[in-house]
């Protein structure tokens, strides 16, 4: 625990050259300034970022005046809640007046009231690891405040609430999602009483807007161990209220028709997809990996002692789009995740060495910009414990990627288009703009996918032959 505290102090000392002027300005006005909450937690973990949270007894208008004298940019969009933000030399700071809020029990919107003590401000926070503060001093002799034992929780890797979790979650049910998010981000375990309260109060999450749910889910999914957060949401019953398709993956296995635990398989695919990331968390890839089999519960059939999930990728893509739409995800995310779910079985439709040039072109064209992610998803979807089968699947996909590279070296696979554009089609066939031009374009696109690039004269001849058949 001493080492954790030392890291926090070291991180704070390193901020002195940057924040010294701000601390001095508060001191000159007679107000202390405290680094607080997640910023102290992250400093103790050695991961303090560029966004920092502070608290002070000074009222918002005074905070704003001090910041305007110090910072390069100041914005007060949160001033009604006691918060003023600023940017200085690339560092973003958010300063909030001591709070002592009262919740109405129906929404998560508190009646904002200002407090008069640091301890009163800390006790209203979500978890004890977020209820620590460092009092910043102009002379660098900073003072650590931990009235609720947050440092001990931090050292033990435990998430617990300052007061009874039932009271905390009743005030703000979003804190239950934050518990799952921190389980993912910090890799902490949740205290038994917190876990029990989450299970008892799971339905309270319906008080939270879908926009806030989406933000927390994304932070969870981009954490170090999203599977830990997802397990907590499913085991507590909260997932049933916000994303029921995920716990539905834990299907009971028929004793006569064994199949993989789809929920456990999906979490393993998610982990294996994460292991392939190159530039930090890829939210689209992670969601696609988790949801790639969500169509299986609705498509499971038992025939002659065997289980099948025919067209689960088609059903799954629809379910993924519907749920992400309900959670108000951006259209691009909805489309990309849905398309990856839809395409993830395409590879398995071909045996080893059975990929024609036409099939390769269609695979690349249908994936489009998603092709690198599709490669990772398909490889991650191999969770067999049979080493020979696993090696064969990876070898087959290696072969497919080699085929893609070979054909791409000969053709522009990234932009497979007809050999003749719309203007040329209208000129050759004597057409005006309309549906017939679109049909001709589609014919040429299919021809291009099947046979590859054609010389212009050959393309014109094939187009005219097709047009004669249409008129006949």
pLDDT tens digits, one per residue of 78-111? 888 899 999 998 889 999 999 876 555 565 566 6
Confidence of residue 50 (pLDDT cuts 50, 70, 90): confident
Give the three-state DSSP class for 441. Answer: helix
Q: Does domain 158-242 have CATH number 1.10.110.30?
A: yes
Confidence of residue 254 (pLDDT cuts 50, 70, 90): very low
Task: Check: CB of residue 466 under 8 Å from CB of residue 440.
Answer: yes
pLDDT tens track for 183-240? 999 999 999 999 999 999 999 999 999 999 999 999 999 999 999 999 999 999 999 9
382 pLDDT exceeds 90?
no
392 pLDDT exceeds 60?
yes
125 pLDDT exceeds 80?
yes
Task: Check: CB of residue 128 under 8 Å from CB of residue 161.
Answer: yes
Average pLDDT over residues 386-395: 83
Q: Could you identify the residue written with the tokens 């709070």? A: 99
Which run of H or of E encompasses 190? strand 189-190
Distance CA 268, CA 289 (A): 9
Comparing 347 with 294, the larger pLDDT belongs to 294
Average pLDDT over residues 239-259: 77
pLDDT at 350: 62
Distance CA 21, CA 210 (A): 40
Give the three-state DSSP class for 365. Answer: helix
Average pLDDT over residues 423-435: 77
Distance CA 361, CA 449 (A): 6
Structure tokens belonging to residue 304: 């002659």
Confidence of residue 255 (pLDDT cuts 50, 70, 90): very low
pLDDT at 103: 59
CATH of domain 2-155: 3.30.460.10
pLDDT at 105: 56
Among 379, 371, 298, 380, smallest CA distance to 340 is for 371
pLDDT at 446: 74
424 pLDDT exceeds 80?
no
Handedness of CA 146, 148, 149, 150 (dihedral sign): negative
Give the residues across from 426 on adjacent strands.
Answer: none
Least confident piece of the model among 7-16, 128-137, 375-384, 387-396: 7-16
Structure tokens belonging to residue 416: 């497979």
429 pLDDT exceeds 80?
no
Q: Could you identify the residue written with the tokens 């050292």? A: 155
257 pLDDT exceeds 60?
no
Confidence of residue 140 (pLDDT cuts 50, 70, 90): confident
Share in percent of the chain as helix, strand, coil (round to 5): 60, 10, 30
Give the residues across from 133 on adjacent strands.
Answer: 36, 145
Comparing 75 with 432, the larger pLDDT belongs to 75
Q: What is the DSSP code (8-state) at residue 257?
A: S
pLDDT at 102: 59
Residues contacting 370, CB < 8 A, separation 6+: 336, 339, 340, 343
């Amino acid at each position: 625990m001493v080492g954790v505290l030392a890291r926090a102090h070291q991180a704070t000392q390193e901020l002195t050259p940057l924040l010294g002027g701000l601390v001095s300005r508060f001191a000159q006005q007679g107000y202390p300034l405290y680094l607080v909450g997640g910023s102290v937690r992250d400093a103790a973990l050695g991961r303090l970022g560029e966004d920092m949270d502070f608290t002070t007894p000074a009222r918002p208008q005074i905070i704003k005046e001090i910041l305007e004298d110090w910072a390069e940019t100041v914005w007060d969009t949160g001033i009604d809640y006691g918060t003023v933000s600023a940017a200085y030399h690339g560092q973003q700071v958010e300063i909030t007046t001591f709070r002592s809020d009262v919740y109405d029990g129906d929404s998560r919107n508190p009646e904002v009231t200002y407090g008069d003590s640091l301890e009163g401000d800390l006790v209203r926070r979500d978890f004890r690891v977020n209820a620590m503060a460092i009092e910043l001093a102009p002379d660098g002799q900073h003072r650590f405040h931990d009235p609720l034992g947050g440092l001990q929780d931090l050292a033990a890797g435990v998430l617990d609430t300052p007061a009874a979790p039932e009271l905390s979650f009743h005030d703000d049910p979003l804190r239950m999602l934050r518990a799952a998010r921190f389980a993912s981000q910090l890799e902490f375990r949740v205290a038994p009483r917190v876990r029990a309260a989450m299970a008892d109060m799971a339905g309270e999450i319906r008080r939270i807007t879908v926009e806030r749910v989406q933000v927390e889910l994304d932070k969870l999914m981009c954490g170090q161990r999203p599977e830990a957060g997802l397990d907590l949401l499913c085991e507590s019953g909260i997932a049933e209220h916000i994303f029921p398709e995920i716990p539905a993956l834990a299907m009971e296995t028929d004793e006569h028709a064994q199949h993989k635990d789809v929920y456990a398989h999906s979490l393993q695919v998610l982990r294996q997809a994460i292991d392939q990331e190159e530039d930090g968390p890829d939210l689209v890839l992670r969601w696609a990996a988790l949801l790639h089999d969500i169509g299986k519960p609705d498509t499971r059939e038992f025939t002659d002692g065997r289980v099948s999930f025919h067209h689960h990728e088609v059903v799954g893509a629809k379910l993924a789009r519907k749920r992400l739409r309900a959670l108000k995800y951006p259209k691009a995310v909805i489309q990309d995740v849905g398309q990856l779910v839809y395409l993830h079985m395409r590879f398995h439709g071909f045996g080893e060495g059975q990929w024609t040039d036409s099939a390769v072109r269609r695979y690349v064209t249908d994936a489009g910009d998603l092709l690198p992610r599709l490669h990772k998803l398909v490889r991650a979807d191999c969770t067999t414990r049979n080493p020979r089968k696993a090696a064969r699947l990876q070898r087959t996909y290696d072969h497919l990627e080699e085929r893609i590279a070979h054909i791409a070296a000969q053709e522009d696979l990234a932009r497979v288009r007809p050999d003749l554009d719309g203007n040329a089609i209208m000129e050759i066939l004597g057409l005006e703009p309309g549906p017939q031009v679109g049909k001709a374009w589609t014919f040429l696109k299919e021809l291009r996918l099947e046979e590859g690039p054609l010389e212009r004269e050959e393309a014109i001849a094939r187009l005219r032959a097709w047009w004669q058949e249409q008129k006949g």
